[in-house]
Structure 1
């Protein structure tokens, strides 16, 4: 099959519906980050409390991705996605009409928003099963570009909070989520060739495979860096450069949008030069720019440029990782999407929480950013160690038509 036949190779309405569902789910998943400045002011939160508040949805979403991955394989992606969306809409309705006047209530809201983060384990299998192996990187890159919803949160949430109050922003989110649910119900279709569901013990068998752990770690760095920064940069720009919540939101949106839009490019690049080669380049660049950011740049504009470059690297890496996952675990794509996605969420939780704690303990974000840059270097070394085995076993020409 020729590469130019991508749009004829699968079911385009399902791919676009998966993207839209994923996009708005991610907007809601990280909504506490752009609202954190106003929430912290009203509730009197410390730097570490702000960090944990914005990190809680990331951890909840990470853990729920496992459950959602299992649900996808048992109920098929479309039905699992509808269940998740209904829960998120119910949680936002409670948050809008309820009383959120304590740190504990915000952490509870973060747990509910984690269900939106679990949309990852629905959208990617839904898209993956509709396309052949040689187009997996591109298909999953397009579906995964739904993480651009994090940019919409950063762009609009702070100004809406000033105009209507941050709690009412949670109610306003119900409008686009309702539209996304309708679009999903109308256009998304499950692939007829979905693998038969397995027992829980059979799902756990995949964890005996070292390749599963490798892919989980690699994604914990790329997506962990992306989601952790998406949740934390509004706070960062406000505390480091004194920007207003709206200005900090605009700066964050620029960084997040860059990382989101290049995810399809990462998948496309991996389809053409191989996922390992593409991912190796991205780890090096991400480490370089995160180290540059850790030194505390003198101006907010310089910081935006560096963080945009870091997010471009991480976003491209996200697409590259998910070019590799379905090549190795095509018959376990549901549970592997959940596991790999969980690892990415855990990485995001670690980065967001560590930035808050290091700021409170040392007065600077340098240590947190430096440690995460170190993880990118470790990932690069690990990928270099396994590339020969991956290319000669499950990545051989006899096993797949895709480049590994």
Structure 2
């Protein structure tokens, strides 16, 4: 009963902590066009600024996942949030594009909260409920929606510098709450080595799950950071209007994610993922063909939001199921792949836009990539009997 109460309070605080951290991670994307006007940036330069936070937030998920396994979520989560105060404070003082890139890079550490939080929660959750619990925890992704809604209004009312300074207080508050009101990870093991943790790279399912999450979470991140830019460019919307529409995408993708985890708890994730990748292929094709029409763009984007959210939940049901004793490390690796799936596409879309005057080629590539994942899933997880016979890998 004590563990159940601890797990419940931990789930609440880690989810709120991730929400605040993801507001920081997504702070630049709803402001890109305002920053672009200030510094006279090209589409490629704006896409780079939007994508830079994703880079560090992706690759650092692996070491943060390992550190969480080794030292426990309470310590790692608290120190991570305290670190974010430094680039937030600095971002309000910079006056050049280059300096903004540096701040954006270090603010990317906010994205690693995903690996820390998911690992922390998984250690306090029974195996049969992990899909649901991790899906609820991932509601913290809604922080990017909050950023899209709130930060453009703060920028208009008080200036760009206060966008960053206003985030310092909630970050500091969550650091205090996590330190004083969450338990130590019950299985934290300081004897674990980096070499031992990375042995999971020898298993094919590590790479399969990474590929799938590269697509599903990559869609979420790409649309979170670059949809405002596309909407303003194609439909000449205001920053606030584009932010609201982007928030709608993020909210749908985030709040449908627990459904993917819950469904994967109740049935085989393979068929769920098959449907996800077919839907992504359809959504990508829809934007490639009809992305200049607001109705078609909206419908295809919402389809991608729903598919990516369900896919994210299903993928992360499989992580602790297949790797119960290396959840943190595999969470970091798979999470890093997902983050990188959101790093390259915005840059690609910016380059494609500068070269062709449209974004269609980028979404054709998404449809092709999703079709490839569908075929891989057919071999890896689609067969329910084969999936039930997967041996747990205890690295």
The normalised TM-score by structure 1 is 0.92
Q: Which residue of 2 aligns with 1:71?
A: 67
- Cα distance in 2 for partners of 1:294, 1:163 equals 36
1:103 aligns with 2:97: yes
Partner of 2:12: 16
CA, structure 1 residues 391+66, in 2 after alignment: closer, same or farther (shift >3 Å)? farther
* Residue pair 2:115, 2:331 contacting (<8 A) in 1 also: yes
- 1:355 is displaced (CA, Å) by 1.1
Cα separation, 1, equivalents of 2:221 and 2:139: 13
1:45 corresponds in structure 2 to: 41
Partner of 1:347: 341
Which residue is 1:364 aligned to?
358
The corresponding residue for 1:57 is 53
Whole-angstrom CA distance in 2 between matches of 1:93 and 1:52: 22
Which secondary structure does the structure 2 equivalent of 1:79 belong to? helix
Query: How far apart in 1 are the matches of 2:181 and 2:136?
Result: 16
Superposition deviation, residue 197 in structure 1:
4.4
Separation in structure 1 between the aligned mates of residue 79 and residue 4 of structure 2, nearest angstrom = 30
> Kindly tell me: are residues 398 and 210 of structure 1, through their superposed partners in 2, closer, same or farther at Cα, counting changes over 3 Å?
closer
Aligned residue runs from structure 1 range 111-122, under 5 A = 111-122=105-116
157 and 335 in structure 1: CA distance in 2 versus 1, 3 angstrom threshold: same
1:94 matched to 2:90: yes
Separation in 2 of the partners of 1:10 and 1:181? Answer: 18
Whether 1:36 and 2:29 are equivalent positions in the alignment is: no
Matched position secondary structure for 2:58 = helix
Instruction: Report the aligned-residue RMSD.
Output: 2.1
For residues 150-200 of structure 1, the C-alpha deviation after alignment (integer angstroms, 9 at most, x for no partner) is 100111111211111122201111122223223322332233234564211
CA distances 1:264-317 after superposition (whole Å, capped 9, x unpaired): 111011111222221221111122112101223444344223212211110111
1:236 paired residue number: 230
Question: Which consecutive unaligned segments of at least 5 residues does structure 2 have?
Answer: none
> Partners of 1:178 and 1:370 in 2: how far apart?
42
Contact 1:270–1:277 (Cα < 8 Å) also in 2: no
Please list the CA deviations of residues 11-65 of structure 1 after superposition, one character each: whole Å capped at 9, or x if unmatched.
1000111111111111110111101010011011100011111011111111111
Name the structure 2 match of 1:130.
124
Q: Which runs of 5+ in 1 are unaligned?
A: none
Alignment match, 2:389: 396
Q: Deviations over 1:237-278 (max 9, x none)?
A: 000000011111111111111111111111011111222221
Aligned pair count reads: 392
TM-score norm. by structure 2 comes to 0.94
Q: C-alpha distance in 1, partners of 2:201/2:256?
A: 30
Q: Determine helix, strand or coil for the equivalent of 2:207.
A: helix
Q: Which residue of 2 aligns with 1:225?
A: 219
In the alignment, what sits opposite 1:303? Answer: 297
For 1:310 and 1:68, locate their aligned partners in 2 and report how far apart those are by CA, in whole Å: 29
Deviations 1:172-230 (A, max 9, x none): 11122223223322332233234564211112211111111111111111001111111
